[in-house]
Structure 1
Amino acid sequence: MRFIYLLILLIVSLVLYLSWMPDPHLGKAGFVPDWLASWGDMEEFRDIRTGVPLILLGYCAGLLPIVGPSQNIARWLATWLLLTALVTLAEVGQLLLPERAFSWADIGWGAMGALLGLTLAAITKDVRFKV
């Protein structure tokens, strides 16, 4: 379980770091693989790329014992809102950076990524407990 918490912390840090880099090009990060940076830096994927780490973040958060529709729909919804708030915070922070721009589409893609991740975690939990 500690591994999941550490992974969540790492992904949250990564989302904020990449969102608040002065230059929006992933290739400038230095640690992002070339294939991923070239995909993420394509103009047509600039908004969608925000949702990708949120899928993994939503999945990890959804695996926590207290989160999941079968445990408590309110906690599951609160987790989704918290992840959406994270993306919103990342976007608001970009208002302070001259080379970055606030984007409602980024928030939407991040929220959808978090929803997908949480849903996949709920399915994983249900399948695991039924087997």
Structure 2
Amino acid sequence: MPYVEVLAPQVPNQRKAALAKSVTDGLMTAFGVTADTVTLYFLPISPDDYAHAGEFEPQGAGQRILLKVHAFRRTEAERRAAAIALTRGVCSAYGVPGDDVAVYFLDRDRSEVAHDSKLASD
């Protein structure tokens, strides 16, 4: 924990590796976690699977990239620092402006997370 879902167009593996490194580094700094606790899941979306403002936008025109961060609750300052780091990483790896990047924090209570059948709150 944290886990990050990256919903974005398909890119070469070296660009995904660059994003994985920058996201991991950013969360280590912002959240005070170690690298071995950060996991990214790349969920590629086709440019033909995107709509915005009620308009279907084939070819991915203006397609936004979404990062969903599943983590234990952090302070607003920690989330702000993470948002800056993650957005910069996406912009660099995908060559998009910050306007095309959204980061959503899906905070979890320790009683809502289990590993090896044990709640993190136990």
TM-score, normalised on structure 1?
A: 0.35
| Higher strand content, 1 or 2 | 2
| Higher helix content, 1 or 2 | 1
